[in-house]
Amino acid sequence: MTKRLRITQYRSAIRRQRNQKETIRSLGIRRLHHTVEHDDTPAIRGMIRTVGHLVRVEEVEAEKRAKPRAAKKPAVETVEPPAAGETDAGAE
pLDDT tens column, 61-91:
877 666 666 667 667 777 777 777 766 665 5
CATH fold label, 3-61: Ribosomal Protein L30; Chain: A, (3.30.1390)
- CB atoms under 10 Å from CB of 55, counted, come to 22
Per-residue pLDDT at 83: 77
Helix (H, G, I), strand (E, B) or coil at 36: strand
- Ordered by start, the domain boundaries in the chain are 3-61
Q: How many residues does the chain have?
A: 92
Q: Which whole number is the average pLDDT over 34-62?
A: 96
